[in-house]
Amino acid sequence: MKTLISISMLSADFTRLGDHLKEAEAAGTDWLHVDIMDGHFVPNITMGPDQVAQIRQSVDLPFDVHLMITHPLAYIERFAKAGADTITVHVEADDDTDACLDLIENLGCHPAVVISPETPVDAVKPYLDRVDMVLVMGVHPGFGGQSYIPETTERLKAIRAMIDASGRDIRLEVDGGVNFDTLPEILEAGADTIVSGSCLFKGDIQSNIDKFKQLF
């Protein structure tokens, strides 16, 4: 399975967001990672479906939408209509995860689940027969620019083994603290979809993405 870069919009320059995202697209990023925070599930707020729909008009990249919200069922349809391609829900959210995945799939998007650092890796097992991707947080969700939690590497290895045992083509994504130093061990652990923001948007996007790809 091809290794993909999903650049995190959270670290873009919002004073020139459209141009900054176009630069990332031209530089060869594969997906756009869109973090949605509600100020309740995590202590931060980002944007809503209307803003995502506007951004959708700026770039042609697949939208990798990560819902860090307490009640995703109330918003999944709106984000699907706004242009999401993949929608990822936290197993720790209050709403029923199976119901969320049903809705995502019925709306024609790729369903995915995510676990926070304190959640046991076995929490993803019940969903491996129906998701297209598992996202593992390498930091505590809610803020960009955090340092990678070292224990994430073993968590990635464990979930990679679960995915391989399932026999299904499920992507393993990692988000948080991914940079030139941490990327090699993340790839070695079996991740194939790499979310990074601070590292890629700081400085020259083209050279940063090229350097990432050289490590693949």
> Does residue 199 register a pLDDT over 90?
yes
* Domain residue ranges in the chain: 4-214
Query: Has 41 been labeled as part of a binding site?
Result: no
Residue 188 pLDDT: 97
Judged against a pLDDT cut of 90, whether residue 207 lies above it is answered with yes
Q: Is the pTM of this model over 0.85?
A: yes
Q: What are the tens digits of pLDDT across the range 153-162?
A: 999 999 999 9
Q: pLDDT tens across 7-19, in order?
A: 999 888 889 899 9
**Is residue 66 a known part of a binding site?**
yes
Is 19 known to be catalytic?
A: no
Ligand-binding annotation for 198, yes or no, is yes
Is residue 35 among the annotated active site residues?
Answer: yes
Which of 30, 38, 175, 192 does the annotation list as catalytic? 175
Cα dihedral 106/5/174/75 (nearest 10): -30
Query: pLDDT, tens digit, for every residue of 120-155?
Result: 999 999 999 999 999 999 999 877 667 999 999 999
CATH class of segment(s) 4-214: alpha beta
Q: Judge whether 20 is annotated as a binding position.
A: no
